[in-house]
Structure 1
Amino acid sequence: MEKRPQLDILLCAPRGFCAGVDRAIQIVELALQKYGAPVYVRHAIVHNKYVVDGLREKGAVFVEELSEIPPGDAPVVFSAHGVPKSVPADARSRNMMFLDATCPLVSKVHVEAQRHFEEGHEIVLIGHHGHPEVVGTMGQLPPGAITLVEDVAGAMAITPRDPAALAYVTQTTLSVDDTSEIVAALQSRFPLIHGPHKEDICYATTNRQQAVKAVAPLVDAMVVVGSPNSSNSLRLVEVAERAGCRVAMLVDRASEIDWSRLEGIRTLGVSAGASAPEKLVDEVIEAFAQRYDIKVEAKVTAVENIAFNVPRQLRPVEVTVAP
């Protein structure tokens, strides 16, 4: 029997599901339990094909617009990325029962943007054009209240009405390093610019990037489990490359691994985006175990113990028994 090559796998920790993703998936599953199928979901609940397909099999129906939902009493869930204010208003006008699965850390950015607006600030949003989170945040305020900046060049090009009345917020799933550069450019041009009280980039994005930064220089290749439409997963690949890893790839499933890029590797880093389930990480490791004699070691750079409550109408009813 041919001897398989040795492969040392460094498993990034934290990786995979964050509290906001976990909560959003729970909301759809609990709604299906409580109300039965179908439960409509506006946009992919989280950006992961495996998760979306699994919920679809249980009776979730995914739509992009509320107009696609036939009249009736089936609930609709808004995705973890958040929605413009016009969406719940539209749902109310259609007499729809809706459940908001917006991540609380995205809602925090919405509140900050509203506060800056009420204080008379012109607002810069650092983020990626067209991403649903950016669409949702910009849709919290009237058109023109928020200017989107995607990079340092954009930060250097904006011309605010009043440089002394400027504030910024950010998408929660950005590259920490890229965002720092954009913020530095804004602060150099507009020293009075108001920032968030607490970093907008969420704890999970930051922690997963730090874990990849720690592992990437130590390995020959890095595999990030996540879907191509997942912003935070794409950022992990970029972070790995910048940290000196010569081969970094994003895979939705083990079947997508490009083995030709991994010839001759002796060490491998594995991480997963915040919307990728651990089952898919196990699947990837198993695929390597079929080809290599593997030794897996966790590289822990942070410990997460955050959880978010689901909406009140989905919580179990507490029955108090009289003494």
Structure 2
Amino acid sequence: MLVDPSLATPIPERPADRDLNGSTASLGVLMGLAFRRSSGRAWRLRQRSMTLWPAWVEQLNHPESPLQLDTPLIQLAGSAEEAQRMQQLADARPDSGLQFIANDRLGETDPVWPQAGHGAMLSERDGRVDPLLLLKALRRSLIEHNVERRATEVVELQRPGSTARRQWRLITADGRNEAVDLVVICSALGSTKLLQSLGHQRPMDAVLGQVLELQLNKPAKQWTGWPAVLTCGGINLIPHGHNRLWIGATLEPGVNADPAATETMRRLNELAPSWLNAAQLLGQWHGLRARPRDRPAPLLEELEPGLLLASGHYRNGVLLAPATAEWVSQHIDKETITSP
């Protein structure tokens, strides 16, 4: 049974219909290989997800909910020091599809890229997946597998009693009281309140992600030389159609958008070329990312028998979806095997 107001209802079609939900306000950037670390939990999760993503797309792709991986991703170096780190990273991973491109070897593009002046790193296998198309594909898969869906929220969790069959109780916003064998909490910022009543302190802070949709004054020539994702100073630029562009980043703490921060993002910290400054704003939307406090993201924990936490992915919810799902599946299998 899935209790989720988002996946249990139709997925929004337009940016104007997106709410503060992190998934519907995401750009779906997958930066798993162009990651500076080469060890540790964060690195392993990224690597596992990038391994799983092609199979996920193949399984979820359907005429009613088409899905594909858009590649590559290019990061512009913002300084000589960053360029050196990129060169070292590409040299250290010869089989990962990473390549550093010196500034004087960057090809011509239409429209021109921001001129950071220090070269760039190409990641052939990184890129993006459209998050709304992903949600539609997941929803279709849920329906195909006859998963019961509830378009409501869980407002309280109650521990199993002392009966032979130890079941959790879910109290929902529509007044239901459900008995279940196992609970997986994956409700981002909403996870904290559910866990507090059980004595589990997992505070998370809201960080605002913003996206602008811009229309160029003159059509681009099929975005010649552009990757699926161009990253400049932590800000993502994504071609969208012949003459439209998305610009997005997760930069602001709190829940309210700061117009000054939005303008700084649009101007790419004063690196925006003239065509970008002249582009027409068609719309903007934002969503909240859940960043764990004093703990690394994401939170993947078995808190009690039958209670799993898979939340707090911060900026990497879409990227880490396959690895997270695999972790949950393994723990559900373990729980099933060890249950009386």
**Pairwise TM-score range, normalised by the shorter structure:** under 0.3
Would you tell me which structure has more strand in proportion to its own residues?
2
Question: Quick one: higher RCO (CA 8 Å, sep 6+), 1 or 2?
Answer: 1
TM-score (norm 2): 0.24
TM-score (norm 1): 0.25
Would you tell me which structure has more helix in proportion to its own residues?
1
